[in-house]
Amino acid sequence: MIIVRDLFHIQPDQMKKAKELTQEGREIMRRQGYSSVRVMTDLTGDYYTLVLEGEYKSLADFESAMKKVQSNRKWRKFYPKLRKLILGGRREIFTLMG
């Protein structure tokens, strides 16, 4: 099992809008194979951080889910709206132990 986290640094005055948009994107992702997508925001650390986290059986499953969602018409329409609010970010991939 792997855990994938996408961490986004959001423009400070756009965090509320980013959280609202994330709910729309989360639903598209779920329908396209992303399992258990969780959305988190910062309590400590870098301010204005938005995290999307999901669990997958393997890297191959994650890659398959990514390809599927990126080819989705609704996702291609949605993502540019969120992208405008993002200053930067990174992806973290972990192996779940135990």
Spatial separation of the C-alpha atoms in residues 65 and 34, rounded to whole Å: 6
Model-level pTM? 0.86
Confidence of residue 2 (pLDDT cuts 50, 70, 90): very high
C-beta neighbour count of 57 within 10 angstroms: 10
Phi, psi for 89 (deg, rounded to 5): 165, -165
Domain ranges of the chain: 2-95
Q: What is the pLDDT of residues 31-74, one digit of tens each?
A: 776 767 889 999 988 899 999 998 999 999 999 888 988 899 99
Q: What is the pLDDT of residues 15-26, one digit of tens each?
A: 999 999 998 888
Strand partners, 39: 52
pLDDT at position 78: 92
The separation between CA 13 and the C-alpha centre of its own chain, rounded to angstroms, equals: 20
At the topology level of CATH, where does 2-95 sit? Alpha-Beta Plaits (3.30.70)
Burial classification of residue 49, based on how many CB atoms lie within 10 Å of its CB (0-12 exposed, 13-18 middle, 19 or more buried): middle
